[in-house]
């Protein structure tokens, strides 16, 4: 069984099998779910500690694997696929935040420019006022 290069088909990202792990060193524990030759059937490997102790569970069906995935998430196991998705989301969020800051700065600069133009117009109009006692417009 080659679990290093799974080829997932017809699986939504939420139900996608993969490597679920928690802890480090001697406390490390992981579950690996891979596709089998039968549709919607999955063998499960369970490993513990640093010595690569591995147990292989029998093949389970889609309903059983969905229940196990939910249980593992509740128990604090992280999915390698989920972590990669979170990294991509953080990068996209960072890029969006940068673009948003740039757009806000451009909008502020545009407002300042409009205010300066308006102030110059008001100042230009203020010079064409009547002087008291003169009676003439300048």
Q: Does 98 map to a domain? A: yes
Residues 88, 68, single domain; the answer is no
pLDDT value at residue 133:
65
What is the extent of the structural domain holding 59? 13-76
Residues 58, 100, single domain; the answer is no
Residues 94, 54, single domain; the answer is no
Band of pLDDT at residue 81, cut at 50, 70 and 90? low
Q: What is the pLDDT of residues 16-50, one digit of tens each?
A: 567 778 777 777 788 878 877 777 778 888 888 76
In the predicted structure, residue 137 carries a pLDDT above the cut 70: no
Residues 91, 66, single domain; the answer is no
Give the Cα-Cα-Cα angle 102, 105, 107 (nearest 5 degrees).
Answer: 110
């Amino acid at each position: 069984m080659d679990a290093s290069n799974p080829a997932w088909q017809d699986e939504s990202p939420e139900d996608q099998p993969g490597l679920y792990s928690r802890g480090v060193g001697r406390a490390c524990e992981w579950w690996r779910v891979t596709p089998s030759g039968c549709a919607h059937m999955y063998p499960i490997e369970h490993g513990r500690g640093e010595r690569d102790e591995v147990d292989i569970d029998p093949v389970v069906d889609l309903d059983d694997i969905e229940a196990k995935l939910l249980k593992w998430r509740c128990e604090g196991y992280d999915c390698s696929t989920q972590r990669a998705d979170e990294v991509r989301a953080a990068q996209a969020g960072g890029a969006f935040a940068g673009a948003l800051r740039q757009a806000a700065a451009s909008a502020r600069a545009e407002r300042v420019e409009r205010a300066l133009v308006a102030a110059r117009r008001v100042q230009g109009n203020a010079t064409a006022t009547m002087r008291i006692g003169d009676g003439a417009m300048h």
